[in-house]
């Protein structure tokens, strides 16, 4: 035999309490005694359905509380596991950021570290005052030929140097620097290595 729960009993009694007056109307009961009996039975059925509903609700609450109490440690463990996974993810994200930062620093360092330097050319200019002085002395001593020779032999002064620079990262750059500058001294140091 199948067991009927309190919820179903409450529903059946409630439907019976509502259906009984409808049946009396359908049968065209005219007697007050019949209507009094029908109302009393309907009220009894409604009261019984309310009692069964309360019992069913208490059973549901008890079942839900029992279920909640049983699930609580499992939910707490799942929540703890989720927090642990979030912490591990945050740690792995932090490690990834540190690795990216370290890689970026190494890349920048490799872009600054010079492997080899080749001097390509230098530009020079003659001092016009020096050339004029030599031309005057040459002209005074040897005439017009001496003036031309004196102007041609004037000393020239180097002003810029162009280097081909190879870095540790594999990048190659052509740099033109002023002679005597800090960068010129830095690049010149690699010419002798």
Domain ranges of the chain: 1-112, 113-191
Tokens (6 digits) for 50: 């309310």
Alpha-carbon 160 to chain mean position? 48
Q: What is the DSSP string of 69-122?
A: HHHHHHHHHHHHHHHHHHHHHHHHHHHHHHHHHHHHHHHHHHHH-EEEEEEEEE
For every one of its 193 residues, what pLDDT tens digit does the chain have, with 9 covering 90 and above?
566 666 676 677 777 777 777 776 666 667 777 767 777 777 787 777 777 777 777 766 666 556 666 677 777 778 888 888 888 888 888 888 998 899 988 888 887 888 888 888 777 666 666 666 777 676 677 766 666 666 666 666 667 888 888 888 888 888 888 888 888 888 888 876 5
CA atoms within 13 A on the CB side of 18: 6
Beta bridge partners of 125: 157
DSSP 2: P
Task: Look at the alpha carbons of 143, 148, 151, 156 in this order and tell me if their dihedral is positive or negative.
Answer: negative
DSSP 173: E
Instruction: Supply φ then ψ for residue 118, to 5 degrees.
Output: -125, 130
Alpha-carbon 15 to chain mean position? 61
What pLDDT score was predicted for residue 8?
Answer: 72
What pLDDT score was predicted for residue 29?
Answer: 65
Instruction: Tell me what percent of the chain is helix, strand and coil, each rounded to the nearest 5.
Output: 70, 15, 15
Full strand arrangement of the beta sheet holding 156-167: 114-126, 156-167, 172-178
What pLDDT score was predicted for residue 12?
Answer: 72
């Amino acid at each position: 035999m199948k067991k009927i729960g309190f919820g179903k009993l409450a529903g059946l009694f409630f439907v019976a309490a509502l259906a009984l007056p409808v049946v009396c109307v359908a049968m065209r009961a005219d007697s007050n005694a019949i209507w009094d009996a029908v109302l009393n039975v309907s009220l009894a059925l409604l009261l019984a359905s309310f009692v069964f509903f309360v019992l069913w609700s208490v059973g549901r609450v008890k079942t839900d509380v029992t279920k909640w109490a049983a699930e609580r440690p499992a939910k707490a463990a799942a929540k703890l596991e989720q927090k642990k996974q979030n912490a591990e993810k945050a740690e792995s994200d932090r490690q990834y950021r540190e690795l990216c930062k370290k890689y970026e620093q190494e890349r920048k360092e490799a872009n600054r570290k010079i492997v080899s330097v080749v001097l390509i050319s230098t530009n020079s200019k003659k001092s016009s005052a020096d050339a004029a002085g030599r031309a005057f002395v040459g002209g005074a001593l040897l005439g017009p030929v001496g003036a031309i020779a004196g102007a041609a032999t004037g000393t020239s002064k180097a002003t810029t140097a162009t280097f081909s620079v190879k870095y540790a990262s594999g990048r190659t750059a052509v740099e033109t620097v002023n002679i005597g500058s800090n960068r010129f001294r830095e690049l010149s140091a690699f010419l002798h290595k």
